[in-house]
Chain A
């Protein structure tokens, strides 16, 4: 959500991401437009 806020403040209004959780890491796959 912090990255979303940064991108929105930087002029990228349409950024979406999907989240993948495992026991050891969290991975967010971003599409920025």
Chain B
């Protein structure tokens, strides 16, 4: 496992989880965020990002969020800026006046975390545990499927001494190997 890939991987994983919740709802909260565009179109992308920015501001995740300098490119893409205000006007000290947002900077920017930091180690641990649990769950599902296939498979020829459902179909086998 390459440590250098952790911040980007974690960022991607968390971002996808949050976006999924915003678009389709979390367990106990529905935000009505923009659904993915059916096709990659610039207008749809701009509308979606604008909707996300408004959603953040409307729900208090930032004081204000807006799209600036929206420029379509030559292809289907383009450029834009998203600016989110973290402090009320005139209170931009970065300490105390920004509702503690400045204290969150290291967590919001995992690419800048040193790998020796406790936060980075905690992230590795969390990610590893989530993947471990998923792996165990998949293993249990596979085992269950194998068990069901073995139990309900009517096409398999019963082995000597193991057919209790259709004794007549049981092949004859040497007395010494019968499982009485």
CA distance in complex: A6, B40 (Å): 11
A9 near B36: Cβ-Cβ < 8 Å: yes
Complex: how many Å from CA A12 to CA B48?
13
Q: Is B6 interfacial (CB 8 A cutoff)?
A: no
A24 interface neighbour in B76, B78, B85, Cβ under 8 Å: B85
B54 interface residue, CB < 8 Å from A? no
The number of residue pairs between A and B whose CB atoms lie closer than 8 Å in the complex comes to 102
Partner of B36, one of A4, A10, A30: A10
Does A26 lie within 8 Å of B15, measured CB to CB?
no
Q: Which of B34, B73, B79 has the most CB of A within 10 A?
A: B79
The reply to whether A30 and B82 form a contact with Cβ atoms under 8 Å apart is yes
- Size category of the B interface is 35 or more
Would A11 and B37 be within 8 Å (CB), given that A24-B87, A33-B77 are in contact? yes
User: Could you mark each residue 14-33 of chain A with 1 if its beta carbon is under 8 Å from any beta carbon of chain B, else 0?
Assistant: 11000101111111111111
Q: How far is the CB of A7 from chain B (nearest CB, A)?
A: 6
Contact between B83 and A12 (Cβ–Cβ < 8 Å)?
Answer: no
B165 on the A face (CB < 8 A): no
* Chain A interface extent, by class: 20 to 34
Question: Judging by beta carbons under 8 Å apart, are B19 and A32 in contact?
Answer: no
For B16, the chain A residues whose CB sits under 8 A away are 5, 8-9
| Given A1-B18, A23-B93, residue A10 in contact with residue B45 (CB < 8 A) | yes
| B residues at A contact (CB < 8 Å) | 11-12, 14-16, 18-20, 22-23, 34, 36-37, 39-40, 42, 44-45, 48-49, 52, 62, 73, 75-87, 89, 92-94, 98, 102, 105, 109
